[in-house]
Amino acid sequence: MKLANHLCGRWQEGGGEGLALLDPVSGEPLVSVSSEGLDLAEALAFARREGGRALRAMTYEMRAAALTRVADVLQAKRADYFDISLRNSGATEADAGFDVDGAIFTLKAYARAGKVLGAGRCLREGARVPLAKDGVFQGQHFLVPMSGAAIFINAFNFPAWGLWEKAAPALLAGMPVFVKPATPTAWLAQRMVADVVEAGVLPPGALSIVCGSARDLLDHVGECDVVSFTGSADTAARIRNHPAVVARAVRINVEADSVNSAILGPDAVPGSAEFDLAVKEIVRELSIKAGQKCTAIRRVLAPAPVARALADAVAARLAKMPVGNPRTTGVRIGPLVSKAQQTAALAGLAKLREDAEVVYGGDPDFVPVDADPRQAAFVQPTLLFCEKGLAARYVHDVEVFGPVATVLPYADAAEAVAIARRGGGSLVASVYSADPAFVGALVPAIADLHGRIMVVDAAVGSNHTGHGNVMPTCLHGGPGRAGGGEELGGLRALAMYHRRHVVQGGPAVLELLSQEAVDAALLGA
C-alpha cells in the first residue's frame, strides 16, 4: 500500500513505486511513500489561503476547542497507533506510549491553556509607550498570527509527538500546519493526519502532509511561513542555508542533536537516595525507545570516587533488561528504527570506544530475543567509562542515537561544569544532588548552554517528570549544537507563530486596534 499525501484539501498519491517503510525487527516491507510529481507550491499556497484564513477567522478559544476535538479523535484510535508504532518503529508498549500518549497529552495541555486567551484574535504586548507630549501620539506593541504556513520537517524518532507538539501551538496561534514526517516512520503521522482529516474537526487546509522526500518544498517558502525542523545538525545547516530561506528571511526553528548530561553531586554516594535516583534515571534513558530520544542521557558525570560504583550499578540493572522483539512478553528494550540507524549507531559507538572502555554491552554480534540479527536493527545497550575527561576526542561530540551512554569521572564542581559545557549546547542536563553549594554553583554555570535543567534530590524523589521527558508546560530546545530552537513552554510557544510589530498613532487608533487583542503577558502566565 502506498500512503497518500493530504495536499490542497484532498488525498494524492505520489508517482513511481515509492520508498518502502520496513519493520525493524523482521525487515518486512509495510507500506510505501512517494512525493514524486506533487505540486508542493500549490499545496503550500492552498494551506495559507484556505487553512490560514479559516483558522484566523476563529478566536483563540475556538481553536483551543478544536485542539480538544483533535485529541479526542486520536484518543479513540490509540490502539491503532500503538500497532503502527510496534510494526514500523519496533516500539514496546512503553515506547509507543511515550510517543502516542505524549502527543495526546500535549494537545490536551494546549487545548486547556488556550482557553485563557478567550475571544482574542491577536496579542497586545506591554503598556503604551508615550511618544509625544500630552499623550496625543503613542506606541503599542502587538503580536499577530503569521499569515503563512507552519512547515514542520520532522525526525524519525517521534512520528506522533513530534507532529503534535508543534501542531498544537501553531494551530492555536492560527497557522495552518504542513508536515513532512521523516520517511522511515512516516506511517504513524500519516495515519493520524488521515484520522483527523476524516473526522472533519479542523477547517480544510489546516492540516496537510507530504510523505517521502521534501523535494522542492523549501523553494516555495515565504516571508510569513515558519519552518520548524527537528533532525540532524547537518540537515539543519542545509535548511538554514537554503536560498529561499535566506532570501526571504524565513523564520526557522531548529531542534537538532544534543549530547545531554546527567550529573551526580558530591553527596550522591552509594546508599544515598540521589545515587539511586540517578541510577534509575540513567537506565530508563538507555531503555526507553532504545535511547532514540534527542533528550536522552549520553554522558554521565560522576565524582571520581563514586564513578565506578555508579557504572557497576547501572550495568547490573541493564543486565536484567531483555532486549529483543517487542512482541515477546518481558522484552524491555526494542530495536532501532532501521538498519541505517543501526549502522550509524555502531559507527558512533566505535568512535566512543577509542575514548572509553566498555563496562556493559557493546557486542555487535549479540543475539536479541526472538529476532534474527541479520534482518533486525538492534544495538545492545552499552555503558562506557571514559577516564579522559575533557581530553576525550569523541565522547563530547558524537551523539550515538541509541542505547549508549558514557560515564565520566570528575574531580570537582569546576570540572563538572567544564565537561557539561563541552557538549557545546544541550537540550537538557539532570542533576542529582541535595548539596546547595554544589547545585547553586553548577546550575547558573551551565544554564546558558542548556534549555532545561532538572534538579533531583531525595525530597523530589520519584515525583520528577524525567530527564528525557518533555513537558508541554516547560521549554524544550537548546542552544548551540542543540539547534538554538525553542518549543513548548506552555503558551510561550505561540510567540513563534506570531509576528511582533508596533503601531504608532493616536490613542483612538490604538484603542480600535486593541479591541480584539488579549494581553500577551498571558503567554508567560
Q: Which residues are catalytic?
A: 255, 294
**All cell numbers assigned to 133:** 507630549
Name the one range near ligand NAP by CB under 6 A: 235-243, 261-269, 328-336, 385-393. 235-243
180 binds ligand NAP (CB under 6 A): yes
473 binds ligand NAP (CB under 6 A): no
Pair 28, 376: CB distance under 8 Å: no
26 binds ligand NAP (CB under 6 A): no
Pair 431, 442: CB distance under 8 Å: yes
Find the shortest distance in angstroms from Cβ 365 to ligand NAP. Answer: 25
Strand ranges for 112-269 from DSSP E: 122-130, 138-145, 150-153, 177-180, 207-209, 226-230, 251-255, 260-264
Kindly write out the interface string for residues 369-408 of this chain, putting x where it contacts ligand NAP by CB under 6 A and - elsewhere. ------------------------------x-x-------
Closer CB to ligand NAP, residue 257 or residue 457?
257
How far is it, in rounded angstroms, from Cα 118 to Cα 121? 9
153 binds ligand NAP (CB under 6 A): yes
Closer CB to ligand NAP, residue 101 or residue 399?
399
Find the shortest distance in angstroms from Cβ 46 to ligand NAP. Answer: 20
Pair 249, 223: CB distance under 8 Å: yes
424 Cβ contact partners less than 8 Å away, ≥ 6 residues apart: 259, 396, 397, 449, 480, 481
Closer CB to ligand NAP, residue 21 or residue 107?
21
Name the one range near ligand NAP by CB under 6 A: 44-52, 127-135, 147-155, 417-425. 147-155
Name the one range near ligand NAP by CB under 6 A: 151-159, 370-378, 380-388, 496-504. 151-159
230 binds ligand NAP (CB under 6 A): yes
Would you call 521 exposed, middle or buried from its count of C-beta atoms within 10 A (0-12, 13-18, 19+)? exposed
Closer CB to ligand NAP, residue 250 or residue 520?
250
Q: Backbone phi, then psi, for 69, in 5-degree steps? A: -65, -40
423 binds ligand NAP (CB under 6 A): no
DSSP codes of every residue in 257-325: ---EEEEE-TT--TTSHHHHHHHHHHHHHHHGGGG--TTSEEEEEEEHHHHHHHHHHHHHHHTTS-BB-
Closer CB to ligand NAP, residue 428 or residue 491?
428
Residues 290-309 that bind ligand NAP (CB under 6 A): 294
Q: Please pick, from the candidates 232, 328, 469, 473, the single residue that binds ligand NAP as defined by CB under 6 A.
A: 232
- The CA-based angle 92-96-99, given to 5 degrees, is 145
Find the shortest distance in angstroms from Cβ 149 to ligand NAP. Answer: 15
Find the shortest distance in angstroms from Cβ 220 to ligand NAP. Answer: 12
Q: Please pick, from the candidates 81, 110, 142, 156, the single residue that binds ligand NAP as defined by CB under 6 A.
A: 156
Task: Report which secondary-structure segment, H or E, holds 507.
Answer: helix 507-513
Closer CB to ligand NAP, residue 61 or residue 257?
257
Kindly write out the interface string for residues 195-224 of this chain, putting x where it contacts ligand NAP by CB under 6 A and - elsewhere. ------------------xx---x------
**All cell numbers assigned to 120:** 482574542
Find the shortest distance in angstroms from Cβ 227 to ligand NAP. Answer: 9
Find the shortest distance in angstroms from Cβ 157 to ligand NAP. Answer: 5
The 3-state DSSP class for residue 450 equals strand
Find the shortest distance in angstroms from Cβ 319 to ligand NAP. Answer: 27
Query: What are the distances in angstroms from CA 516 to CA 58, 64, 229?
Result: 12, 17, 32
Q: Backbone phi, then psi, for 193, in 5-degree steps? A: -60, -40
112 binds ligand NAP (CB under 6 A): no
427 binds ligand NAP (CB under 6 A): yes
Name the one range near ligand NAP by CB under 6 A: 197-205, 226-234, 313-321, 435-443. 226-234
- Using DSSP bridges, classify how beta strands 122-130 and 517-519 pair: parallel, antiparallel or unpaired: parallel
Q: Please pick, from the candidates 114, 120, 205, 231, the single residue that binds ligand NAP as defined by CB under 6 A.
A: 231
183 binds ligand NAP (CB under 6 A): yes
Closer CB to ligand NAP, residue 252 or residue 510?
252
Q: What is the separation of C-alpha 282 from the centre of its chain, rounded to a whole number of angstroms?
A: 19
- Using DSSP bridges, classify how beta strands 404-410 and 382-385 pair: parallel, antiparallel or unpaired: parallel
**All cell numbers assigned to 493:** 510557544
Looking at the chain, the number of H-run helices and the number of E-run strands are 16, 22
Kindly write out the interface string for residues 488-517 of this chain, putting x where it contacts ligand NAP by CB under 6 A and - elsewhere. ------------------------------
How far is it, in rounded angstroms, from Cα 299 to Cα 38? 43
Closer CB to ligand NAP, residue 213 or residue 514?
213
How far is it, in rounded angstroms, from Cα 241 to Cα 236? 9
Query: What are the distances in angstroms from CA 141 to CA 223, 278, 420, 508, 510?
Result: 20, 46, 39, 15, 10
Interface residues with ligand NAP (CB under 6 A) are: 153-158, 180, 182-183, 213-214, 218, 230-232, 235, 238-239, 255-258, 294, 399, 401, 427, 483
